[in-house]
Amino acid sequence: MVAALAYYFPLIEVLNSYSTFVQDFKKFKISKERVDEILNIDEDDYQAGEKNIPRVEKISFQNISFNYPNRSSVLKDISFTLEKGKVTALVGVSGGGKTTLCELLLKFYKPCSGKILINDSIDLAKLDGGLWRESISYAPQNSFFFSDSISANLLYGSQKGSKDRMMELTKRLELDNVITSRENGYETQINNDFITFSGGQKQRLSLVRAMIPEKPDVLILDEPTSALDYISEKAVMKLIFEFKEDTAVLIIAHRLSTIINADLILVLKDGMIVEKGRHEELLKLKGEYYNLYKHELIHKKEVENVV
């Protein structure tokens, strides 16, 4: 009996080890299958394309329609042209398709129908998505900052940027004193939510980052002054309109006072362009733009009366 037990316990250990091995192997096999599924996903064909990106003179949206999977149309038969040296503004109530239109311009999504043509002849669908986006400066409404120095955050993603350009812009947007008053100035380490900066300061920092490249082909600004007071807004818009000389500028705006001098205003409603023209032209129509502008003036007066 003792001899039998002496052989039995080592056998149990071997069997337990084998059982553990089998379980671990099954887990490994499942994990490997999941990894293989990811590795074998076909590359998004829409992002691949021609590596030679042209300098932009104009960008034409031709009968563009788009919807997300299993959802109704977000954009319907959109046609307009962005031009170098001009500011184009998108206005309208929330949910009208303004941000989606910008995402199509950034080549994040493929239109369901229609074309986006560069310089009248080059289909955006045939250009490399990553390289195309390198020619665009974009300041989203909610910019992401990461844990690093202030200068690293501002210069991030800017291949053509320089510290001199950064300093020039922070001075123009009245941020230089805010930054240099900190212990290490531009090299001050900041956490990723920039919690020690106000909403307006963070918005201006986002604009600095977008405008450090001196001559991007396209500058996209999503609500560039939504967190600013009217004095700061005026300084920002002055800088943006100076910037347009060598760039096609596209602004998404809810605050219509920021875009009254735009070269072209597009009014989006329910995914369609319902009006387009300059500020004075649209007011004369007494349509959708007129109502939006009148509502803004009433709201501004109410705020001033409260103050």
Q: Which of 103, 223, 245, 280 is catalytic?
A: 223
DSSP secondary structure letters along 177-233:
HHHHTSTTGGG-EE-TT-TTS-HHHHHHHHHHHHH-SSS-SEEEEESTTTTS-HHHH
Q: Is residue 223 annotated as part of the catalytic site, yes or no?
A: yes
Phi, psi of 118 (to 5 degrees): -100, 125
Q: How far apart (Å, rounded) are the C-alpha atoms in residues 5 and 10?
A: 9
Q: How many C-beta atoms surround the C-beta of residue 163 within 10 A?
A: 12
Buried b / exposed e along 121-142 (16+ C-beta atoms within 10 A): ebebeebbbeebbbbbbbbeee
Please list the active-site residues: 223
